[in-house]
Amino acid sequence: MTKGFSDLSSKNPFFILGPCGLESEEFAWEMARALKEIAIKTGIDFTFKASYDKANRTSAGAFRGPGVQEGTRILGEIGKELGLRVTTDIHTPEEAEIAAENIDILQVPAFLCRQTDLIEACAKTGRTVNVKKGQFLAPWDCGNIADKLRSFGCDDFYITERGATFGYNNLVTDMRSLYWMRQEGIPVIMDATHAVQRPGGLGGSTGGDGELAPVLAAAAVATGVDGVFMEVHSNPAEALSDGPNQIPLENIEGVLNRLLAIHKAAHGA
């Protein structure tokens, strides 16, 4: 099975949007409601995202989040009340089982993308699984991840591109990887905000070039992807995690409209 440009022509990409971290229950509800309203206005297929535990932080004292039990409760209630799919990162087989009670899409962080026990646990929940492609992997290496998922009974999955390590404190995204992965029959999401990170670039925290996230998203949509992941925050300058890379809430409607126009121009939808 191969996928190229032509099979995208009748379907817009879906969008995973939300803040990096679950900073508070009130904040999560505010962001989810605001993004749902924008999703309705723009007509996008929208999944709400927030992480209950930022387990891979640069420094020991950095914000983590409320944890798996409380975090998945909050996200589950948001999903049910607002009629949204919800997604979050999980880090262990035990967390996968807990999260599956409330979470629609289980997301495997990039640094854990080769952890077989974790992949198996996610697959066996019956939930959709989204595996972030490690910064250290070539696109064709993702075939092994896809094979693991299928061998454990999961055919409902995505692989997410989020850039490759380029020297020190920098990532670069090779847009050819999107095409190559889809040619292998792998459904692909582009993570436009994590792809512009500068890991550890601020010394005690990660920096980034958030203004370039819409640029990478536009290139990915033109190339051809199944989904686009973008972190969004009402005030990125005050975000408790990954602020330099998040798109301001006030800008996201314009970004989405531009991406939809690019998709229509490139793929005829």
pLDDT at 200 over 70: no
131 neighbors 108 (Cβ within 8 angstroms)? yes
pLDDT, tens only, 144-199: 999 999 999 999 999 999 999 998 988 899 999 999 999 999 999 999 999 997 76
pLDDT, tens only, 60-113: 777 788 899 999 999 999 999 999 999 999 999 999 999 999 999 999 999 999
Per-residue confidence (pLDDT) for residue 52, from 0 to 100: 95
Domains present along the chain, CATH in parentheses: 6-267 (3.20.20.70)
218 neighbors 262 (Cβ within 8 angstroms)? yes
Query: Which pTM does this prediction carry?
Result: 0.92
Tell me the CA distances in angstroms from 256 to 61, 197, 217, 232, one per residue in order: 35, 21, 10, 12
Residue 208 in tokens: 């980034």
b/e per residue 78-92 (b: at least 16 CB within 10 A): bbeeeebbbbbbbbe
pLDDT, tens only, 218-235: 999 999 999 999 999 999
pLDDT, tens only, 81-96: 999 999 999 999 999 9
Instruction: Give the whole-angstrom CA distance, residue 37 versus residue 43.
Output: 10
pLDDT at 58 over 70: no
Instruction: Give the whole-angstrom CA distance, residue 209 versus residue 236.
Output: 12
In this structure, the number of other CB atoms found within 10 A of the CB of residue 254 comes to 12
Residue 23 in tokens: 């900073």
Where do we find the tokens 């993570």? Answer: 191
